[in-house]
């Protein structure tokens, strides 16, 4: 149980275009989902916390107008990278926790490799 599905697994886009990444909790409800980013050989850095039905909370240094997050339901959160540039190329990973559980671990999707040309 507790499967998080992330789509697409990889995407290549041209500079200036926008890309949407979906994160779904397949067999559980997630009030909160988290979006992380990982650069090569570096740690996972939290970008934002996505709360169902409300605005996302962004970490310091993350542009909210560039990384649009929507959490429209208890099983779906989306991250849209707007006007992508080559420096946005990275590995984006979403995670979710089962609704109502505090000390249960986060479950991660398989990530999306974004390459902006």
Q: How far is the CB of 3 from another protein (least distance, A)?
A: 11
How, if at all, do strands 19-25 and 76-81 pair?
Answer: antiparallel
- Closest to another protein by CB, 16 or 105: 105
Question: What is the CB-side half-sphere exposure of residue 51 using CA atoms within 13 A?
Answer: 5
Give first-to-last CA distance, the chain, whole Å.
37
- Closest to another protein by CB, 83 or 110: 110
- Closest to another protein by CB, 96 or 116: 96
How, if at all, do strands 10-13 and 112-116 pair?
Answer: parallel
Q: How far is the CB of 9 from another protein (least distance, A)?
A: 8
Q: How far is the CB of 22 from another protein (least distance, A)?
A: 14
Q: How far is the CB of 53 from another protein (least distance, A)?
A: 16
- Closest to another protein by CB, 14 or 41: 41
Residues that bind another protein (CB under 8 A): 4, 6, 9, 32, 34, 36, 42-46, 49, 91, 93, 95, 97, 102-103, 105-111, 113
């Amino acid at each position: 149980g507790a499967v998080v599905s992330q789509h697409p697994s990889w995407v290549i886009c041209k500079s200036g275009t926008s890309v949407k990444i979906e994160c779904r909790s397949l067999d559980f409800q997630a009030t909160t989902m988290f979006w992380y980013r990982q650069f090569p050989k570096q740690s996972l850095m939290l970008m934002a916390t996505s709360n169902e039905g409300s605005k996302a909370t962004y970490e310091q240094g993350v542009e909210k107008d560039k990384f649009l997050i929507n959490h429209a339901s208890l099983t779906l959160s989306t991250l849209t990278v707007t006007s992508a540039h080559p420096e946005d190329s990275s590995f984006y990973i979403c995670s979710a926790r089962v609704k109502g559980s505090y000390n249960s671990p986060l479950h991660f999707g398989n990530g999306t490799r974004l390459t902006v040309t």
